[in-house]
């Protein structure tokens, strides 16, 4: 049965960095980042909110048909939709939702440090602040509990080798 490790967390939590390092020694996993599905929608005015859910639907449809193990990165948006889709996938594949926990102030600072200056940064910062205000992971946990979906938590301040070992242990 295929495995899907799902890194769920705020922007700046370190999901992409962890994915990059994990994939280096676990090439049987296909990395998927929801941002790759949403990015084509981006304009100089940002991403149109009304089109994002369609991109999530496309992503999950493709994941359902993939024969390989997957390392999926998603954010905190659309928590009910995402948790429900992960639950549905768990009926066919081994799904490991992992809440990537890191203090919001650290996530915010990381995002500020990596964005470019200018008007686009200001628009992005507003969008990021909306995401940082979302209740995470409590809402995700409550909904997962309601559906009976088992989840895990990862302290993103732990050393990289410990986080990678944690992912490896989940797969065994």
Question: 71-95, pLDDT tens digit by residue?
Answer: 999 999 999 999 999 999 999 999 9
Q: Where are the domains of the chain?
A: 3-171
| Cis peptide preceding 123, ω within 30 of 0 | no
Structural fold of domain 3-171 = Rossmann fold (3.40.50)
DSSP 8-class letter at 137: T
Give CA–CA dist 50/61, Å, rounded. Answer: 19
- Could you tell me the CA-to-CA distances from 35 to 58, 85, 94 in Å, in that order? 12, 17, 23
Q: What is the pLDDT of residue 118?
A: 44
| Cut 0.85: pTM above it | yes
Sign for the pseudo-dihedral over CA of 145, 137, 100, 86: positive
């Amino acid at each position: 049965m295929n495995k899907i490790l799902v890194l769920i967390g705020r922007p700046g939590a370190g999901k992409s960095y962890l994915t990059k390092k994990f994939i280096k020694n676990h090439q049987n996993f296909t990395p998927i980042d929801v941002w790759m599905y949403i990015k084509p929608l981006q304009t100089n005015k940002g991403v149109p909110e009304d089109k994002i859910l369609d991109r999530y639907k496309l992503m999950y449809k493709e994941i359902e048909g993939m024969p390989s193990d997957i390392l999926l990165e998603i954010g905190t948006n659309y928590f009910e939709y995402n948790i429900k889709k992960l639950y549905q996938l768990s009926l066919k594949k081994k799904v490991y939702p992992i809440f990537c926990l890191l203090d919001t102030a650290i996530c915010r600072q990381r995002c500020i440090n990596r964005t470019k200056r200018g008007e686009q940064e200001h628009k992005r910062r507003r969008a990021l602040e909306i995401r940082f205000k979302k209740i995470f992971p409590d809402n995700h946990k409550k909904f997962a509990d309601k559906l009976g979906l088992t989840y895990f938590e990862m302290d993103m301040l732990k050393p990289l080798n410990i986080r990678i070992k944690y992912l490896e242990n989940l797969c065994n």
